[in-house]
């Protein structure tokens, strides 16, 4: 079992890097997509670009909320799971009406990850290197993302930061 947290800014190449790792693993791959494009045409275009890049042999699961449950159901020995991405997943949770859902789902992910067999690649946006936003929802998002990244970095075997398409191993 190996778990890998892949961080980077928007458009840094982190998804492409994770996809290359998944392909090079030689294992069957399940791609868990957390994005909900809604009526956002630009986001739908980005999703189409990601879809076109993925091998057709990969299984795809779209799961915007119940990530830990989906990981438990999908993980197995000699298998690779790629989650793209945790920041979109956190956004989905923050926008839900249930104020406890975010905490419950984050705790479930943190508790579940160490028990998962196989290879798990987690992609997330590093958001803590910019200015502090002037609205409460954005600050909460940055706080939640930073806390999750710190916790996952302790749990994961490998942590990589991707900048300008260049992976930098942190752990």
Tell me, yes or no, if 50 is annotated catalytic. yes
CA 47 to chain CA centroid, Å, is 14
Task: Catalytic residue, from 50, 79, 100, 157: name it.
Answer: 50
Element (H, E) at 16: helix 14-25
Cβ(164)–Cβ(155) below 8 Å: no
- Residue 103, Ramachandran bin (φ over 0: left; ψ between -120 and 50: alpha; else beta): alpha
List active site positions.
Answer: 50
């Amino acid at each position: 079992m190996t778990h890998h947290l892949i961080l980077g800014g928007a458009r840094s190449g982190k998804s492409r890097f994770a996809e290359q790792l998944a392909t090079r693993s030689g294992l069957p791959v399940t791609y868990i997509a957390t994005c909900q494009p809604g009526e956002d045409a630009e986001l739908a275009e980005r999703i189409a670009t990601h879809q076109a890049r993925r091998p057709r042999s990969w299984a795809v699961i779209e799961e915007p909320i119940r990530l830990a449950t989906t990981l438990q159901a999908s993980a197995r020995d000699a298998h690779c799971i790629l989650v793209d991405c945790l920041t979109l997943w956190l956004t989905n949770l923050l926008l839900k009406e249930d104020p406890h859902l975010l905490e419950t789902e984050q705790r479930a992910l943190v508790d579940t990850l160490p028990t998962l067999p196989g290879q798990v690649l987690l992609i997330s946006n590093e958001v803590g290197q910019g200015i502090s936003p002037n609205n409460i929802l954005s600050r909460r998002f940055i706080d939640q993302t930073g806390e999750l990244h710190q916790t996952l970095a302790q749990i994961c075997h490998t942590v990589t930061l991707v900048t300008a398409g260049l992976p930098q191993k942190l752990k």
